[in-house]
Amino acid sequence: MKLDDLVAVSGMSGVFKLAANRTNGLIIEDLDNGKRKFAPARKHQFTPLASIGIFTLDDSTELKIIFRTMVEQMESNPIPSSNSSSTELHIYFRKILSDYDEDKVHTSDIKKVIKWFNFLNERSLIDMKDESEETSDKSEEEE
């Protein structure tokens, strides 16, 4: 599943699949049981995971790239608990994204990234394919 289909909802833990868009909110689907529910825009803020980036010293890095790096380094650089000390979380994140901006990326942001990663990884929803690989796969299938 692509990050384009997934959304974080303020006030609700976890990540949800966007099922439908309404004028006054979103219909979201629980990834575990597939149940759908309405989340009103007056009460919640919605953030598509595909639009999230982590500040670096130069620009920003997309969340999917960070997730991919986390998967690649899981054995050599184990993921700490989101309840670990601030220092330990920043040391881990420095190994994942060496040029992240420590002034703009707070400990709470790192905790969120780790929680989202663990949530999606437990459900095997992290897509390791790059978009360029996906388009080449599609063109090969068409031939």
The C-alpha torsion from 121 through 125 and 131 to 136, rounded to 10°, is 120
Domain 52-122, what architecture? Orthogonal Bundle (1.10)
Give residue-wise pLDDT tens across range 45-82.
Answer: 999 999 999 999 999 999 999 999 999 999 999 999 98
Question: What CATH class has 3-48?
Answer: mainly beta
Measured between alpha carbons, how far is 39 from 83 in angstroms, rounded to an integer?
A: 28
**pTM exceeds 0.85 for this model:** no
Q: Give residue limits of the domains in the chain.
A: 3-48, 52-122
Contacts of 115 (CB under 8 A, 6+ apart): 82
